[in-house]
Amino acid sequence: MNQLAQELNDILHGTAALSLLSDFGKRFYFPKGIISQTAEAKKYASTFNATVGMAFNKKEPICLKPVKKSMPGLSPKESVAYAPTPGDESLRNLWKKEILRKNPEVNGTGISQPMVVSGLTNGIAHLSDLFVDPDDVVIIPDMFWGNYRLTFEARRCAKIVDFPFFTGQGGLNIQGFKETIMNNARNGKAVLMVNFPNNPTGYSPTKKEAEELGRVILECAESGVKILAIADDAYFGLFYEKDTYTHSIFSVLSSIHENVLAVKVDGATKEDYMWGFRIGFVTFGGKTMTSDQYEALNKKLMGAIRSSISNASRPAQSLLIKTLQDPGYTGEKEQYFQILKERYQTVRRIVASRKESPALTALPFNSGYFMSFRTNGLSAEKLRTELLHKEGIGTISIQDTFLRVAYASVDLADLEELYLKIYETAEGLL
């Protein structure tokens, strides 16, 4: 084992984090190579700095005119220069402040400094490398974003074990979490993936459900199971109902028990309407973790980032910094939240008026971009293709049993027509 990896593992000695790391994770470290020598030179090379692999002209990174013209608000350092491997430090500070503002239950000194990754997908892929070994089990409620299968099963050769997301009464299946964790922990280790607001259902736990989820995970941890709990917060903030738990489940899990290492994966992708920017963040939280131990985990993650994407997009980070610092930021976001909420309320009204439809039953939804129908006695894939080729309407079929509708992507004025066509087409297929 590399000496630096061993030193990081020594710092993590006795923590759940060390037991949860995969072989990859245990092996990983951040080398004292070009990157750390460059960082050192940035501080001390006052005469000439000849370290970094970038071309300079009069102390500014060379920047072609079309780039300058297209990004007039960014200096060459903000547009074309490399970003540091862990991400721009001021962006990391700003994002942490945002996490604490939006999740007041989180103790600011009890979590790690967020690391910048290239979107949430990239963050989840790094976590799967660092914590999931071949043949490990990853526990996910059965309505989940299909990309997890590619990440955990195809990339890492792990096995996803699922369980019903909802109870028969239409609430979150809290007992399912407990039973699945207890029945599938291997060598005292369980990896749990949660995503609220959920893709594809658009469901988030109520306040009571969030509390109960915390309680059952605490019970599993108290029984000795070490749990990596990954919160995919892609759609964070789009909570439309009063009784919904409007904080990240990371708030509950990041300080719950020393056997639980919680990780928040979030980003600008959906929260700040910057889908193509490819900026995500990874933040760790564990009850007894020290700042040195968080730094050791971040060093391992830096190794994973350095060896794959090297660093995330600099112009996207610069633009996100400017956005987060803009005085109109929260106000403008609130306006768009209201637009999406209105779409949600309209869809709820339409769905309620079609409650008796023999073809489609709406699954519970209260947040996010989506809602899903269960297709009763008809193929969801057949419905999807019929909608596409006869009506020119694009939807997503899942397991041939569910139809996902991204109502957030359709203007309010078009929702009545969209849903009328969906119901009519489905009922015509019965």
Ligand X SMILES: Cc1ncc(COP(=O)(O)O)c(C=O)c1O
Residues that bind ligand X in the complex, under the rule CB under 6 A: 119-121, 145, 195, 199, 232, 234, 267, 269, 280
**What does residue 201 show for φ and ψ, rounded to 5 degrees?**
-85, -25
Interatomic CA distance for residues 412 and 343, integer angstroms = 5
Least distance between ligand X and beta carbon 316 (Å): 11
CA nearest 357: which of 420, 294, 290, 406?
Answer: 420
Give buried/exposed letters for 310-323 (b at 16+ CB in 10 A, else e).
ebbbbbbbbbbbeb
Name the residue nearer to ligand X (CB basis): 22 or 269. Answer: 269
DSSP 70-105: H-TTS-HHHHTSPPPTT--HHHHHHHHHHHHHH-TT
List, as own/partner pairs, every contact residues 355-361 make where C-beta atoms lie below 8 angstroms and the sequence separation is at least 24, other chains included.
357/423, 357/426, 357/427, 358/427, 358/430, 359/423, 359/426, 359/427, 359/429, 359/430, 360/403, 360/422, 360/423, 360/426, 360/427
| Cis preceding linkage at 200, omega within 30 | yes
Secondary structure class of 262 (helix, strand, coil): strand
Residue 82: phi and psi, rounded to 5, are -65, 145
> How far is Cα 368 from Cα 173, in angstroms, rounded to an integer?
19
Beta partners for 403? Answer: 373, 397
**Identity of the residue, 225 or 305, whose beta carbon is nearer to ligand X in the bound complex:** 305
Least Å from the CB of residue 121 to ligand X: 3
In the complex, least distance from residue 269 CB atom to ligand X, rounded to whole angstroms? 3
Find the shortest distance in angstroms from Cβ 118 to ligand X: 8
Cα angle 231, 329, 272 (rounded to 5 degrees) comes to 35
Kindly tell me which of 145 and 152 has the beta carbon lying closer to ligand X.
145
CB of 65 to ligand X, least distance (A): 31
Secondary structure element (H or E) that encloses residue 120, with its range: helix 120-131
Write down the least CB distance from residue 368 to ligand X, Å: 9
Shortest Å distance, C-beta 304 to ligand X: 16
Residue 189 or 278: the one with the smaller Cβ distance to ligand X is: 278
Q: How far is the CB of 234 from ligand X (least distance, A)?
A: 4
Pick 246 or 425: Cβ nearer ligand X: 246
CB 299 within 8 A of CB 311: no
* Rounded distance between C-alpha atoms, residue 196 and residue 298, angstroms: 24
CB-count exposure of residue 55 (10 Å: 0-12, 13-18, 19+): exposed
Alpha-carbon distances of 133 from 183, 251, 426, rounded to whole Å: 18, 27, 43
Contact 176, 139 (CB under 8 A): no
121 versus 425: smaller Cβ distance to ligand X: 121
Amino acid at 376: N
Nearest-approach distance from CB 39 to ligand X, in angstroms: 27
Peptide bond into 197 cis (omega under 30): yes
What is the nearest approach in angstroms of ligand X to the Cβ of residue 203?
12
Nearer to ligand X, 133 or 271 (CB): 271
Q: Which is nearer to ligand X, 84 or 267 (CB)?
A: 267
For ligand X, the closer CB: 5 or 268: 268
Taking the least distance from each CB to ligand X, the nearer of 79 and 118 is 118
Rounded Cα–Cα distance for residues 222 and 315 (Å): 45
In angstroms, what is the minimal distance from the CB of 232 to ligand X? 5
Nearer to ligand X (CB atom), residue 85 or residue 199: 199
